[in-house]
Structure 1
Amino acid sequence: MTPSDCAPAGADRAHAAGAARRRQPRGPSGCSRPTVHPGAWWLWALSLGTAATRTTNPLLLALLISASAYVVATHRTGTPAARAYPAFARLALAVLLVRLLFAVVLGSPIPGTHTLLTLPEVPLPHWAQGIRLGGRVTAEALVFAAYDGLKLATLLICVGAANALASPARLLKSLPGALYEAGVAVVVALTFAPHLIADVQRLRAARRLRGRPDRGLRGLLQVGLPVLEGALERSVALAAAMEARGYGRSAEVPARVRRTTAALTLGGLLGVCAGTYGLLTAEGGTYGLPLLFAGVAAALAGLRLGGRRSLRTRYRPDPWDARAWLVAGSGAAVAALLGLASAHDPEALHPGVVPLVTPALPLWPAAVVLLALLPAFVVPKEPS
């Protein structure tokens, strides 16, 4: 009998699992590489947010929130941005409540016949015509405010889903060289709130373990100072890291290339604006799409030339593979098809409030929203 025959059966399974882990691509820190390009996750989430702006039907908006939440629950990462997803949900709820409060206190331009309550009305001077404090609160005004607030809340939850599925810092690596400096500023702005929320949660947990209060005004004041101190230390560390990596260093390019880059970028952006305006107007439907494509092509060429000034290199860049196309394509399909449904059947996607009607769930737009669940099935979960 050989020593291998005496090994327990679990050893073979452990050896096979270890070999499988060794075959997985590794990141700089030794952990398994992400499975999908971060840009695909952001395009998916922003497309769902775009789809949310095309409807006020609460059933479709709830379906969009449920689809994004399910994908986040199955594929969220362990970064501070992912842990901030519940904070985005609470922020969305706060936005909805504030919108309803404004409709109650400041009134609404929506006429209504179903009076819920009448508040004392504050008289305002003549120059404040159109503004009302108090007065009659109708069910039509509250329903309209709820639809409007739910649309904005869905957009915020989609942005939170993008942070939970792909860190903005990962997305920064994939930006063109010409947009690197602007991308750093955007990433720092996007990661400020998640890191701040993570610091608050960590300090509150530490205070609870020490038996100290973590709620109320006193707890907030005693947590606020360490949070600000941690933010300052993180800013100093970030500045030192950027300086050590030569941030802002650029290569010398000929003046002809600089002028060509500026002309292509500026002309491309103007073409995108003019093409978008043409698509939104009835008269510009013939020239809008060609002008938009030409503007996008010129802007991309300008960004390509502008990247010559960047001396930045990428270590193990994230590949854009078939799964990334499926993730981004599913979100884009939801946005495009809901936009098409909004143009052809506006009554289904924008239920009326005067008179009040019960919103119905349109079948094929609901089936379109279910396409947003595709990443949950085609993308493997990231190993912990």
Structure 2
Amino acid sequence: MPRRRPEPAAADRRDEAPRSAASAGRGRARGPHAGAWWLWALGLATAASRTTNPALLALLAAVAGYVVAACRVPDAPWARSYAAFLRLGLVVIVIRLGFAVVLGSPVPGTHTVLTLPEVPLPDWAQGVRLGGRVTAEGLWFAFREGMRLATLLACLGAANALANPARLLKSLPGALYEAGVAVVVAMTFAPHLVADVRRLRTARRLRGRADRGVRALLQVGLPVLEGALERSVALAAAMDARGYGRTAEVPSAVRRATAALTLGGLLGLCAGTYALLAAAGAAYGLLLAGAAAAVAGLRLGGRRSVRTRYRPDRWDATAWLVTASGLAVAALTIWAAGALPADLDPPVVPLTAPSLPLWPAAAVLLGLLPAHLRGARP
């Protein structure tokens, strides 16, 4: 006769509840699909590319930072990417202002800030000058252009801080798996590099050594490179152990059709995206045709992949809402750029203080939707 299993004690039952809650928390910590975060961030970046208003650009960067603070996984190695990209954007602004001071600006101005000694150049270098008069209008123009690029970097940093690179790689089509591995490895380099630098600086502070300055940076650089090399070797060994690179045999006609469709579709996507982001207008037909050709090529190319997915990510309602939030910001900003050009691209001359237009600002605030979705927060 089988023995009856004893009932757990009250203390054991109390211990089961925290473990169940922790397991549920780990399930919720997955968050929405990684591709949804990238589409949301690209929507904000598209909006940033269509305006030079510093107030709107600062609002876009603030929206991205607020969502990162609310939705990131704090202990993930890529969670601090936003701050690193934001500092890189500040460096870009300083460099852009430095070029405006040294090389001049194409914008004429009447408010002279300072006059530098001008270096005479030969006749073949006409149109380029070194030194000379530096105007407030030229500095303001350079600051706006640098801030736009810094906001684009902040949007990309938000995507890096929110999207798990491994989950993004797992969701790629089979035809793009090899290229996706290279891209994901490149994307994870910056977050791991930031984490290693922070860890080594903390260790130096605990030992009573200086963690700032050129000398400290040089002493930290060697352990950081050593850690990157060790991760590369471990990744290569893991990929080799899992049979990375195996492909199935497909007919040559299918391979040629796949290459033609994929290459033509990606070229169409690149040309359509460039036209969409350019000030001249948007080529929606070229963009849709390129997307259709690329999807057909990727589905054909997926026949070569023999890998399977363990617990594949689902594109749920939260992912749709996150994506729709970013695309709505992009669409409304593109519309506002045509309807309210003076608000999104204010003139540099005469020199005026920036203002925050109401309707474009309300459109940018739609990007805050992921911070208020329960499924998007860890």
TM-score by shorter chain over 0.5: yes
Q: Could you tell me which residue of structure 2 aligns to residue 213 of structure 1?
A: 210
Q: Could you tell me which residue of structure 2 aligns to residue 113 of structure 1?
A: 110
Matched-pair contact (CA < 8 Å) for 1:119–1:134? yes
* More deviation, 254-263/99-108: 254-263
- Cα 1:250–1:73, aligned 2, differ >3 Å: closer, same or farther? same
Q: Could you tell me which residue of structure 2 aligns to residue 162 of structure 1?
A: 159
Equivalent position to 1:69, from 65, 70, 88: 65
Matched-pair contact (CA < 8 Å) for 1:172–1:184? yes
Equivalent position to 1:230, from 224, 227, 230: 227
Structure 2 gaps of 5+ residues are 1-6
In the alignment, the residues of structure 2 paired with residue 277 and residue 143 of structure 1 have an alpha-carbon distance, to the nearest angstrom, of 26
Q: Could you tell me which residue of structure 2 aligns to residue 258 of structure 1?
A: 255
Correspondence 1:311 to 2:306 = yes
- Cα 1:280–1:116, aligned 2, differ >3 Å: closer, same or farther? closer
Q: Could you tell me which residue of structure 2 aligns to residue 144 of structure 1?
A: 141
Correspondence 1:245 to 2:242 = yes
Question: Deviation digits for residues 285-341 of structure 1, max 9, x if unmatched?
Answer: 9xx544542332121011011011111211111110011000011101101110111
- Cα 1:265–1:281, aligned 2, differ >3 Å: closer, same or farther? same
TM-score, normalised with respect to structure 1: 0.88
Superposed, which structure 2 residues align to 1:228-377 within 5 Å?
A: 228-269=225-266, 271-272=268-269, 289-377=284-372
Q: 1:140: how far off?
A: 0.4
Instruction: Letter of the 1:264 partner, please give it.
Output: L
Instruction: Letter of the 2:331 partner, please give it.
Output: A
Residues paired across the two proteins, number: 369
Correspondence 1:51 to 2:54 = no
Q: Could you tell me which residue of structure 2 aligns to residue 182 of structure 1?
A: 179
Question: Deviation digits for residues 339-382 of structure 1, max 9, x if unmatched?
Answer: 11111221110011111122222111110000000001114465
- Cα 1:318–1:142, aligned 2, differ >3 Å: closer, same or farther? same
Matched-pair contact (CA < 8 Å) for 1:84–1:198? no
In the alignment, the residues of structure 2 paired with residue 214 and residue 62 of structure 1 have an alpha-carbon distance, to the nearest angstrom, of 31
| SS of structure 1 residue aligned to 2:113 | strand
In the alignment, the residues of structure 2 paired with residue 270 and residue 198 of structure 1 have an alpha-carbon distance, to the nearest angstrom, of 36
Superposed, which structure 2 residues align to 1:187-198 within 5 Å?
A: 187-198=184-195
In the alignment, the residues of structure 2 paired with residue 44 and residue 22 of structure 1 have an alpha-carbon distance, to the nearest angstrom, of 28
Q: Could you tell me which residue of structure 2 aligns to residue 91 of structure 1?
A: 88
Question: Deviation digits for residues 79-130 of structure 1, max 9, x if unmatched?
Answer: 2211232111111111111111111111101000011111111111222111
In the alignment, the residues of structure 2 paired with residue 330 and residue 315 of structure 1 have an alpha-carbon distance, to the nearest angstrom, of 29
Matched-pair contact (CA < 8 Å) for 2:112–2:135? yes
Instruction: Letter of the 2:335 partner, please give it.
Output: L
Matched-pair contact (CA < 8 Å) for 1:277–1:284? no
Q: 1:163: how far off?
A: 0.9
In the alignment, the residues of structure 2 paired with residue 63 and residue 42 of structure 1 have an alpha-carbon distance, to the nearest angstrom, of 19
In the alignment, the residues of structure 1 paired with residue 60 and residue 311 of structure 2 have an alpha-carbon distance, to the nearest angstrom, of 34
- Cα 1:164–1:274, aligned 2, differ >3 Å: closer, same or farther? closer
Q: 1:270: how far off?
A: 5.1
In the alignment, the residues of structure 2 paired with residue 109 and residue 233 of structure 1 have an alpha-carbon distance, to the nearest angstrom, of 48
- Cα 1:260–1:377, aligned 2, differ >3 Å: closer, same or farther? same
In the alignment, the residues of structure 1 paired with residue 230 and residue 146 of structure 2 have an alpha-carbon distance, to the nearest angstrom, of 37
Instruction: Letter of the 1:149 partner, please give it.
Output: G
Instruction: Letter of the 2:297 partner, please give it.
Output: G
Instruction: Letter of the 1:95 partner, please give it.
Output: V
Question: Deviation digits for residues 13-43 of structure 1, max 9, x if unmatched?
Answer: x7655444445675xxxxx551200100111
- Cα 1:122–1:99, aligned 2, differ >3 Å: closer, same or farther? same
Structure 1 gaps of 5+ residues are 27-31
Q: Percent identity?
A: 70
- Cα 1:130–1:250, aligned 2, differ >3 Å: closer, same or farther? same
In the alignment, the residues of structure 2 paired with residue 22 and residue 294 of structure 1 have an alpha-carbon distance, to the nearest angstrom, of 45
* More deviation, 125-134/319-328: 125-134
| SS of structure 2 residue aligned to 1:82 | coil
| SS of structure 1 residue aligned to 2:338 | helix
Moved over 4 A (4+): 14-18, 20-26, 270-285
| SS of structure 2 residue aligned to 1:355 | coil
Equivalent position to 1:128, from 120, 125, 144: 125
